[in-house]
Amino acid sequence: MKGILLFAALALAGPAPAQDRSPNEPSPSEIVTAAPDGDWAEIAPDDLLVMELAQGRDTGKREVVIQLIPPPFSQGWVDNIRTLAMAHWWDGTSVYRVQDNYVAQWGLGEDKQPPEWLKEVPEADYAPFWPGARKTSDSVRRLRERWWKSDPYAAEVDFVDGFPVAEGNRQQWPVHCYGMVGVARGTGDTGSGADLYAVIGQAPRQLDRNIALVGRVIEGMEYLSSLPRGHGELGFYTKDEARKQMPILSVRLASELPEKSRPRFEYLSTDSESFAHYANARANRHDDFYKVPAGGVDICNVPVPIRRVEPAK
Amino acid sequence: MKGILLFAALALAGPAPAQDRSPNEPSPSEIVTAAPDGDWAEIAPDDLLVMELAQGRDTGKREVVIQLIPPPFSQGWVDNIRTLAMAHWWDGTSVYRVQDNYVAQWGLGEDKQPPEWLKEVPEADYAPFWPGARKTSDSVRRLRERWWKSDPYAAEVDFVDGFPVAEGNRQQWPVHCYGMVGVARGTGDTGSGADLYAVIGQAPRQLDRNIALVGRVIEGMEYLSSLPRGHGELGFYTKDEARKQMPILSVRLASELPEKSRPRFEYLSTDSESFAHYANARANRHDDFYKVPAGGVDICNVPVPIRRVEPAK
């Protein structure tokens, strides 16, 4: 019985077994596995934020790793975040809001005020000017044309330096996909970066250009997405639920950690042919399980492949 | 300090406070609250599946309510599901797979075989023939034109009898949004309905037309979405994690329950002007918080409003 169960379930999520498919149609994960090392790019230790949550009885260590977004996006807020991490400012704060199909939010406790010396960043930085130049090769561009159909929110969407972005009106901006990390803010301000959220549901793209995105979770996402939901307004934990707040033990830049214990990650270069093939396979899967290829794919349904690599020796 | 914290967080998710916005631009939730009773449609008790999970130390009763999809969609599988519920077939089974940003899946235990007398449903029923007729009024249609821009997966998308659907090639099919419930299957079969999954992440629209959708979770979604993720292949719990499987105490059709304890729900009719206004507000929010209206919206980012109503007296 167990064999059938597993088989049925494997089939739901994955490609059909390799021997049943045409060798001409590798699955997305097969394409990623076959990508040459040259198509992978290392993430700089200054761009990695390591957040350690309280240990669970069941889970052992719970580490969430965030990749900060590269220029030209959100660098004022990213600078603030690096400063806060180096000041160990988040140690002892908590995840205090979890709203189903929306966000998990952390940072500022009731009795902690963000430092006054953080940068104020203008709204204009949500969506910087973009001259319209592309650095992708012709072959990659041709492949892309096979999988981008359209986007419900923007004139164009693309990937830039490993991040999903949208374009229009000579602007380019990062988009709110699952796992993306943004800066919580009030009305009339742009937020400092002291309070952050991660998207744990359907991409809330209405927030694009209205709030700063500063990175994405690349490991340990489940420690945020499976937290108990809060039942106060908008997913805040109520007073009675206060003990559900997940304590944050520490947040560090990987570059602060001793070289031997630094986690190291690579992402599949979004300018590579491997990535274009991978995205194309996500848009046009066709095998014994996927009998009707979608013929298109949402920008948020092409998660950028990430892999952990061995620490330096 | 607490005031500022709450304010910042409220603003992230919600509209700006009512007094700050133009009275001409009500928020999506304000539109839903103002919808006249005539715009709400009751869900028949035969279309409600009540799944009771094991109690948590913290949560008390954990009830997940599923609305089964109406004709012309997936009725062979829906019949099987009603039959299985009336046979109390799921009592004592479990949620045995939780894959982050994908699905939670339940049903068939290792030692339970689905009854042989279930219907086999043909693949053609994933996407039934659709003659192209619409029953929406002109005024609703005009409103709709303001918010549907495009869809990455289908020629057209719409709502039919309370469910999100896509259209093309004279076919119409339900789509995989957050919370939608589908029929797990193997390669080379269409599944019986004995094993079901709910979407707990970004809409996996590549499954559309490749697998049957039979309904959606309308209450208690968090009891599935916040379950610990499995670490076996594709999110199955490993042997070591077996104790994390969430026991299912019972699954019943609401129509089987004594009338006084039946839960009752209504959905906002997707043919109503209220719904069209609500979707338009989701696509074009513009207030003190949302300074850049999205100008469009994904079909899966317009959750159909549901409300619980008092049991019959």
Any residues with CB less than 8 A from the CB of B232 and at least 6 apart, and which?
B238, B241
- Dump pLDDT digits (tens) for B99-108: 999 999 999 7
3 state SS of A203: coil
Least confident of A255-264, B104-113, B279-288: B104-113
Using a CB-CB distance cutoff of 8 angstroms, which residues of chain A are in contact with residue B203? 202, 298, 301
Q: How many other CB atoms are found less than 10 A from the CB of residue A183?
A: 26
Using a CB-CB distance cutoff of 8 angstroms, which residues of chain B are in contact with residue A285? 206
Q: pTM for the full model?
A: 0.92
Cα gap B2→B238, rounded to integer Å: 42
The first and second tokens of residue A222, run together, are 């489940």
Q: Say if B78 is an interface residue toward chain A (CB within 8 Å).
A: no
ipTM above threshold 0.90: yes
Q: What is the mean pLDDT of residues A65-70?
A: 98
B135 has pLDDT over 70: no
The answer to whether residues A179 and A306 touch, using CB atoms and an 8 Å cutoff, is no
Q: Which stretch of DSSP H or E encloses residue A164?
A: strand A163-168
Any residues with CB less than 8 A from the CB of B168 and at least 6 apart, and which?
B154, B155, B156
Output DSSP code: residue A137.
-
| Closest-CA residue of chain A to B2 | A110
B149 has pLDDT over 60: yes
Q: Which of A1, A7, A184 sits opposite B186 (nearest CB)?
A: A7
Q: Nearest to residue A19, comparing CAs of A285, A287, A277? A: A287
Please tell me the distance in Å from B301's CA to the nearest CA on chain A: 7
Q: What's the CA dihedral at B235, B240, B242, B246 to 10 degrees?
A: -60
Partner-chain contact A2 B110, CB within 8 Å: yes
3 state SS of A82: helix
Whole-Å CA distances, A185 to A106, A111, A182:
12, 17, 9
Please tell me the distance in Å from A3's CA to the nearest CA on chain B: 9
Please tell me the distance in Å from B173's CA to the nearest CA on chain A: 12
Any residues with CB less than 8 A from the CB of A24 and at least 6 apart, and which?
none
Sheet containing B40-42, strands listed edge to edge, beginning at the edge strand earlier in sequence: B40-42, B264-268, B306-309
- What pLDDT is attached to residue A14? 38
